[in-house]
Amino acid sequence: MTTGPRVEDHYSSAGIARRILDALKAAGGPDAPVTPDSLAPLDHFHGRGIQATRELVELLRPAAGEEILDIGSGIGGPARWIAWTFGCRVTGVDLTPAFCEAARELNRATGMDDRVRILEGNALALPLPDDAFDRAYSQNVVMNIADKRRFYAEARRVLKPGAVIALSNLMAGPGGLPHFPVPWANGPDTSFLSTEAETRADIAAAGFEILSFRDTASETVPKQSAFRRKLESEGMPALGMQVLMGERMRELTINSIRSLEEGRAIPVEILLRKPA
């Protein structure tokens, strides 16, 4: 029997945390502080990096002492930064074992392992009890998931009644498929972008109330285009996502930004509430 490409194989590599810590010290010297802030150029794995996380947090409004869930937590940058900045506890769940291992090592390196826990698991069967979280968020994960109704249903199950989830990701646009390979997938076998209408229908089917739904292309794509031009002329910055994904990251990023420019992918920020 043959199997298709797996999402986790696209993301996996060995020695991720070591590469990241070495890159930080190469740029900042041997005494460079290792904090959720100093790691931010290397561990927020989505377009526009920590700036996108800051904007998501404006929607999410986490508070001290709350239990927050990060679905598809990657190597844990957003989880550490949110726990550190707001004094809450964050649980991250991710499919890719190498990312979970890196996240735990970076939690220890930043002294955040008592406030950020990482569970290896699938967003479609979260290894978590019902009604457990005060808030949840997910950044650039549903793009790898075909069964979005199950993704939303699982998120709803683990949230407390009345709790919110903030989502930031890319939807399908009118321009056709993205230019592959992109940062989230080598090809269409593991990339599943939904249109706005499909997204709204999937959210409604899970029983969420939509508090806000915002296409952010007009604000973000011009800045992304400026970044693309810089990448084309100068290459990746020393502290960039190629430390995580290898030298192919320049091509993946350029392809992603061209897809945004051509309406093949549309950035969206969504806030949902589980009915009380």
Ligand X SMILES: C[S@@+](CC[C@H](N)C(=O)[O-])C[C@H]1O[C@@H](n2cnc3c(N)ncnc32)[C@H](O)[C@@H]1O
Q: Which two tokens stand for residue 129?
A: 């009890």
Surface-to-core class of residue 225, CB atoms within 10 Å of its CB (0-12 exposed, 13-18 middle, 19+ buried)? middle
Distance CA 2, CA 85 (A): 46
Binding positions for ligand X, 172-191, rule CB under 6 A? 183-184
Name the DSSP letter for residue 137. E
11 binds ligand X (CB under 6 A): yes
145 binds ligand X (CB under 6 A): yes
**Least distance in angstroms from the C-beta of 10 to ligand X:** 8
133 binds ligand X (CB under 6 A): no
81 binds ligand X (CB under 6 A): no
The site that binds ligand X (CB under 6 A) totals a number of residues, namely 26
124 binds ligand X (CB under 6 A): yes
| Of the residues 62, 72, 173, 178, which one makes contact with ligand X according to CB under 6 A | 72
Cβ-based nearer residue to ligand X, 162 or 170? 170
74 binds ligand X (CB under 6 A): yes
Closest to 80 (Cα-Cα) out of 118, 112, 33, 49: 112
> Interface with ligand X by CB under 6 A: which range of 44-52, 159-167, 201-209, 250-258?
44-52
DSSP three-state, residue 101: helix
> Interface with ligand X by CB under 6 A: which range of 93-101, 174-182, 228-236, 247-255?
93-101
Cβ-based nearer residue to ligand X, 51 or 161? 51
Closest to 253 (Cα-Cα) out of 226, 222, 228, 276: 228
| Of the residues 21, 39, 45, 80, which one makes contact with ligand X according to CB under 6 A | 45
**Least distance in angstroms from the C-beta of 71 to ligand X:** 7
Q: Which amino acid is at 23?
A: A
* CA distance to 5, 121, 155, 186, 233, per residue, from 152 (Å): 24, 16, 5, 25, 40
Tokens 């009890």 belong to residue: 129
Distance CA 141, CA 134 (A): 20
Please write down the HEC assignment for all residues of 154-174. HHHHHEEEEEEEEEEEEEECC
Residue nearest to ligand X (CB): 74
Cβ-based nearer residue to ligand X, 97 or 207? 97
Give residues in contact with ligand X (CB under 6 A): 7-8, 11, 44-46, 72-74, 77-78, 93-96, 99, 122-124, 139-141, 144-145, 183-184
